[in-house]
Chain A
Amino acid sequence: MPRSTFRTKIVTVITICLLLGLWHLGSMLLDAAVILPTPHSTLVSVWKLLQYKPLSLHLLTTIGRALQSFLIIIILGGILGVAAGYNKLVAAALQPVVVLFKATPVMSIILLAFIWFTSGTVPIFSAFLMGFPVMFVQVEQGVHQISSQLLEMATMYRFSQKERLVHLVIPSLAPSFITGAKASLSMVWKVVIAAEVLTVPRYGVGSRLHLAQINLETAEVLAWTLIAILLTAAGDLIFLALLRLPQRIRQLKIKEAV
């Protein structure tokens, strides 16, 4: 990825300003808050939401659902991915399932799930079905990409099973595990909110989005959307911070040692 410099940052800021300008211009021309409210009234709406008491409840419920789904995805996707990577039979058994999950439209999954489960469970279930193949495929490919040359070296130099695992297999799998987790995490947010919109559980960002929409509170729809975007961004940032944690600790240790 190219490093961001002062100039690239300026370009980014200009783009954001242009988009905001277009939005403002559009809302002025349309002159109908129901169709497109101004950026200003959207911000006011966000401000109102932030002061709105059960906001944290809606946010936490959505976050909780996303995290539950994410956790199940990385555990199951990780374990089954490794199993499929090492065993052709497991891979063959799981392949149709993964293809099915991948090919089914999100909305079909959500609607079907809504027939089977209560509204609170639907987002978790749907997000799992959508995120699982991503994680699974990444980890499975990761197993195939473990260097055969290094494996041979480990055999030659008589690595024990434990050493082989700790020093060769786990470090080789880490990048694909992280890529899979990152991709499924951003997918999970979107699917959880989409499922909440369709099933309208009592609490949840998606439920509020839906209610705001049927009340034709367009500014509020945009405000909740903004909050959803921030949520996804915050999730990504926390994820990155967690990844950097071991490195940070090591750096601190080195500093202490010096």
Chain B
Amino acid sequence: MRIEKLSKQYQNGSKPLVVFNDFSLSCQEGSITALLGPSGCGKTTLLRLIGDLEKADGGSINKELSEEGPVSYLFQEPRLLPWHSVLTNVELVLRPFMENKSERVQKAMEFIEIVELSDYYRFKPQQLSGGMRQRAAIARAFAFPGRIMLLDEPFQSLDALLRQSLVAAFVKLWSLDKRTTVYITHDLQEAYLISDAIIKLSSKPMGVLKEFQITTDRSLREPADSQFLDLVGQFYAS
């Protein structure tokens, strides 16, 4: 996916707020790109533009053939339907793609199993903990055949241990079906464990400060290995 010369501004009273001005970025097909940058620099807006929730003022977002079509979005909040069970929440997004109900349920259950919620598939969101809800949302995002995955700090509100297990669940699911993923986070370590490329962004208007490629196999990365420490050094030096 190539983002070219994107521009977008909001009218904020009399003076316009320029979020993007000639912003360009390319994301390798079938890879995970992490975006790190100051709060309010427009990362969420970028995801919304990629996901077609908003329109850009100028520029273009060119998707590869394999990336055309619906988009899976993992929000900061789980955004589950509170009156439906975990199963129904996941099964609902499969409806446009699968006619047969029992097939849909089976498919949904597969994903619910991977995120380790099989014992809770009949529970409603309010009966689950925050981490479990976000797991259900992950299952939904992967069950939905979105060609691009957009993640907006989905693990941010959770404690460290829970984060680790959710990151693991995410990587597991992603490895089964490698979709182009753009991922916003504030956590460099998390970005290191998950992504193929890390982009350091500047704000107002948004620009790419530096790009880091991580080529080591995901299974060989450790939370505090030497490569990570190198990355930290480079990241903050740039």
Contacts and interface: CB of A to CB of B under 8 A. Distances in A.
A155 interface: yes
B95 A156 contact: no
Given A149-B75, A152-B53, A157 B81 contact: no
Interface string B76-111: 010101011000000011011000000000000000
Nearest to A159: B92
Contacts of B140: 157
A150 B73 contact: no
A149 B92 contact: no
B192 interface: no
B81 A156 contact: no
Contacts of B92: 157, 159, 163, 167
A171 interface: yes
B75 A153 contact: yes
Contact of A149 (B79, B83, B84): B79
A149 B95 contact: no
Interface centre among A150, A155, A157 (most CB of B within 10 A): A157
Interface centre among B53, B70, B72, B95 (most CB of A within 10 A): B95
B215 to A, nearest CB: 32
B155 interface: no
A156 B53 contact: yes
B96 A158 contact: yes
Interface residues of B, number: 18
Contacts of A155: 53
A160 B77 contact: no
Nearest to A155: B53
Contacts of A149: 75, 77, 79
B144 interface: yes
B77 A156 contact: no
Contacts of B93: 157-158
Contacts of A167: 81, 84, 92
B51 interface: yes
Given A149-B75, A156-B71, A163-B92, A171 B81 contact: yes
A149 B79 CA distance: 7
Given A150-B81, A171-B83, A156 B96 contact: no
Interface in A123-179: 149-150, 152-153, 155-160, 163, 167-168, 171
Interface of B: 51, 53, 70-73, 75, 77, 79, 81, 83-84, 92-93, 95-96, 140, 144
Interface of A: 149-150, 152-153, 155-160, 163, 167-168, 171
5 contacts: A156-B53, A157-B144, A158-B70, A160-B95, A163-B92
